[in-house]
Structure 1
Amino acid sequence: MTYKEFDNNINLGSLKNRDLETYLLALLKLVEQEREQILTADLLLKLLHDACSSKPKKFNVEWLKIKDAPDENTFIDSKTNSSTDKTLISDIGEFYYSIAVLKFQIAELHKMKGKQLDNEWKYDGIDSETGNRWYNFDPSSILECGMRCFMDYNKDDELEFEVSWRTLGDLLEMGRIYE
């Protein structure tokens, strides 16, 4: 599947009744259920679509301690000898990176309720109380801007969209900060 095909298949523009925090909680629950799977473009699309209507995971107040966006380098460890082990560790690290991104964004949105999220100009960009910048606050805009960032960076929309568990975390983080 190409970048353009993937982007065309996200199509969550009609999703208006689910706030981003609830969407991400549902996505987190779905992702955790798929931890043993290799993430493909088709599975990622299914997860993104199913999160529109799936039951969300319960919010964990421990997540409120999260202050910084996850650094993928903390999760993706390449200190092994064989290429098979390196791939396995990378996949596990990428999965946990995406989980960390989901928890970080959920916690940030939770902290901004009744405060920054009430700002009528929030789509011009706001800083959370922890100093993290946000530009997108609903499922369709965060995914649209995340994909736009991928596509702008790669310049050729017809290239194959290679997906791994890291893709989900990157998509959400780029969507959070891409205008």
Structure 2
Amino acid sequence: MTYDEFYNNLGSNTGNRDLETYLLALLNLVEQARKQSLSADLLSNLLVDAFISEPKKFNIEWLKIIEAPDEKGFINSKTSSPSGGEYDYTVAVIKFQIAELHKMKGKQLDDEYKYFGIDSETGNRWYNFDPDSILECGMRCYLDHGDNENNHHEFEVSWKTLGNLLEMGRIYE
């Protein structure tokens, strides 16, 4: 699957779910797929299935998370996880974003101008607040920062790709 094909596939499989619920469902699916190598097809399936899959129960401990995970800290660390630091990084990104959205309910998320960008109470910047826009903008960031010729090549992914996609989607306008 090329970058362009992956991007086009995202737009054709959307649902109607708030971002926090979507991410809780995605986390549940990611945890089930933990031992698998992440391919573009599996990533696409996870992102699509999260629109209709059962969400994981929110864990109040996640509210202690106040900073976006540092990819390098996870990738370079020794880990006992069978999927490695890249998987752990992605799970940390998902939990961070869930916690942030949970904290912003009834506050920043009620701002009618939020799509111009808002800061969470922990000082993290957000531009996208629904599954469609976070996935669209995350993938647009991949496409816009590569060369156009590269977009027609195979989209090589790893577990880190999912974490990066979500984080780029959060901050990319």
**TM-score, structure 2 as length reference:** 0.94
Partner of 2:141: 149
Instruction: State how 1:41-80 maps to structure 2 within 5 Å.
Output: 41-77=40-76
Is 1:111–2:109 an aligned residue pair?
Answer: no
* Count of aligned positions: 170
Q: Post-superposition shift, 1:121?
A: 0.2
Partner of 1:82: none
Is 1:178–2:172 an aligned residue pair?
Answer: yes
Unaligned runs of 5+ in 2: none
Question: Is the 1:78–1:89 contact (alpha carbons within 8 Å) kept by the matching residues of 2?
Answer: no
What is the rounded CA distance, in whole Å, between the counterparts of 1:42 and 1:77 in structure 2? 26
**TM-score, structure 1 as length reference:** 0.91
Q: Post-superposition shift, 1:78?
A: 6.8
Distance 1:41 1:62, change over 3 A: same
Distance 1:12 1:108, change over 3 A: farther
Is 1:40–2:39 an aligned residue pair?
Answer: yes
- Match of 1:154, SS? coil
What is the rounded CA distance, in whole Å, between the counterparts of 2:84 and 2:130 in structure 1? 28
**Runs of 4 or more off by more than 4 Å in structure 1?**
88-91
Instruction: State how 1:126-145 maps to structure 2 within 5 Å.
Output: 126-145=118-137
Q: Post-superposition shift, 1:12?
A: 5.4
What is the rounded CA distance, in whole Å, between the counterparts of 1:128 and 1:148 in structure 2? 23
Partner of 2:11: 11
Question: Is the 1:12–1:140 contact (alpha carbons within 8 Å) kept by the matching residues of 2?
Answer: no
What is the rounded CA distance, in whole Å, between the counterparts of 1:118 and 1:78 in structure 2? 38
Question: Is the 1:40–1:163 contact (alpha carbons within 8 Å) kept by the matching residues of 2?
Answer: yes
What is the rounded CA distance, in whole Å, between the counterparts of 1:4 and 1:45 in structure 2? 13
Distance 1:126 1:65, change over 3 A: same
What is the rounded CA distance, in whole Å, between the counterparts of 2:165 and 2:77 in structure 1? 22
Partner of 1:164: 158
Q: Post-superposition shift, 1:155?
A: 1.9
Unaligned runs of 5+ in 1: 80-87
Identity of aligned residues (%): 71
What is the rounded CA distance, in whole Å, between the counterparts of 2:63 and 2:120 in structure 1? 12
